[in-house]
Every structure is written in C-alpha cells, then in structure tokens.
Amino acid sequence: MVTKDGNMIEYLVSLILGLIFGILIERSKKENRRERELVSKGMTLSLFFLIFFLGLDIGRKLNLQEMAQIGQISILFALMTMVFSYAFSKILIRVAR
Amino acid sequence: MFVAIILLILLAGIFLGFQTKDFTFSFSGEIIHWILILFVLLIGIDLGLMESKMERIRQSWKFGSVIAIGTVFGSMFAGLLIHFSMNIPLILAISVAAGMGWYSLTGPFLAKTFGAFAGALGFTSNFLREVFTFILYPKLRDKTAGISIGGATTMDTTLPLIARLSGSENALIAFIHGFFISILIPVLLTLLSASA
C-alpha cells in the first residue's frame, strides 16, 4: 500500500473513464478482438513495470533489524489474517450465491 | 511460469531497492502511482469492451461488498486468536489485524497511539500481508474468495496481479473490495484507539 494516501478518487475516476471509453469502442465496432489484445498486452506490460517499482520501493523501506525483532509475530499476524479473511469470504460468498 | 516471472521481477526490485537505499529513488512512488492510473484505466476499457456482460459486472458490487465483510471479520477474528495465543493486549492485536494490508497508515497510526513497538508491529505485519499476497494469491484455487487475502491492497498494488490471473470481472470485484476496505480501515483504527 505504498501509494494509497489520497489517490483513491483518482483511481475511481480512471476506472470510470476507461469504462466509458471501452463502451464507446464496443458500440462503434462490430469486432473488437484487436482492441482487447492491445489492452491485454498493455495490462501485462504495466504489471511488470509496477511489480518492479513496487519491489524497489519495498527494498528501500526494508529494515532488517526491525524485521528480525518482531519478524515471527508479524508473519503470524500476516498469515492468520489472510487465512481467516479467505475462510470467512469463502463462506459468505457461498451464502450470497 | 508467469507467477515465477512476477516473483523474479519483485525480488529483483527488492534487491535493487535494498542495495541502493542511500541512493535517491524517491521517484519510484510517483511512477507506481502513474502506472496504477494507467492500469486501472486499461481495466476500465477491458470491462467496457465487455458491455454485453454488463449484468455480470453489476453483480461485482454484491460480491465486492460480501468479500469485504469477510475480510473485516476474518482479520478481526485472527487478531482475537493471536491475543489469546500470544498474550498480546486485545486492542493492540485487533488494531494490528485491522490494518488489513495498509501498512503506511497502520504503522504510524499505531506508533502514535500505542507506542513504537505497536507501530513497528503494525507496519511489518501489514507489509508482509502485501508481500505474501503476491506469493500466495496465484496458488489459491478460489480466486474470487482469494481477493480477501490482499485486504486494502486489492484496489491498487495487488490489483494487476488479480486482474492478470483471474480476469477483468474479478479485477472489478477486487477494486470494489479494496475501496470498501480502504474506507473502513481509518474508521476501525480510530474506534479501536478510542476504546484503548
């Protein structure tokens, strides 16, 4: 979550603009396979760049001394919250369906 | 193969970032922001190109909010269990768990409210949740319920991974989920710190 602070609205606006743009393309053309391939390639490329710069950011913030001190409890917190979030969501989705 | 490439790129970035700590890479946060804007725009276009499936996209709101409820209760429950098993104060354990991946907020917030140890624990735990999401999400069988493991990060940093591995429909669910969680985290942390 390195980029969250104050950017939520920008992401939302970006998503809505993309949605409108996509709908306009779909309505103007009968076949949109080429556009979908282009978008898919763009998404893969931006994913690679994003992961790299995210790693760079994580590496810069990594404090090994702090990690060693509270590492085990932190791993426990991270894994337990993930496991129970997954389990609860799985049950709720089944109920909602 | 794809997951291996992702992890390799992530590790290369972490290694380079760690080795060049003193060197100024202050622009990386800005770059991430703009790539994310572009990525979310592309997801929007991809969804728009599936206008015929709009009814299914509307369903995303329902699943996004249902998974968000699961994420909140699952995380809090995990905090409760850690309180009983590790003898960590109840409010602190639940507060750390309530960070749900938003480490840049949880760390400083807990440091200010409960002290340095809580801040470091809040930061590291939620930081690891984001890193583990990159490693574990590809392995999960149920990719829709799996969105919950990313917590608040599913509307930005882990969104591209979810979109690539489970499609644009799940990406929209992930975005909505992350949006709800991001609104809830500051509220939960404030309420918890007030009750401490």
Domain edges within chain A: 1-62, 63-97
Domain containing residue B116: 34-195
CB-CB: which of A14, A23, A87 is closest to B74? A87
- For chain A (97 residues), the mean pLDDT of every run of 10, in chain order, is 60 84 81 80 83 78 74 93 97 90
Contact residues on chain B for A9, CB-CB shorter than 8 A: none
Q: Is residue B179 part of a domain?
A: yes
Best mutation target among B7, B8, B11, B45 (most A Cβ atoms within 10 Å) is B45
Q: Are A56 and B53 in contact (CB under 8 A)?
A: no
For the segment B165-191, what is each residue's pLDDT rounded down to a tens digit? 998 889 989 989 998 898 888 889 888
B194 HSE (CA, 13 A, CB side): 6
ipTM over 0.85: no
Pairs across A and B, CB distance < 8 A: 313
Token couple for B71? 């994420």
Minimum distance, in Å, between the CA of residue A29 and any CA atom of chain B: 10
Q: Are A22 and B49 in contact (CB under 8 A)?
A: yes
**Contact flag A1-B130 (C-beta cutoff 8 Å):** yes
CA distance linking residue A92 with residue B68, whole number of Å: 10
Query: Would an 8 Å CB–CB cutoff place B148 in contact with chain A?
Result: yes
Whether this model's pTM surpasses 0.95: no
For the segment B100-124, what is each residue's pLDDT rounded down to a tens digit? 998 878 887 888 788 878 888 888 8
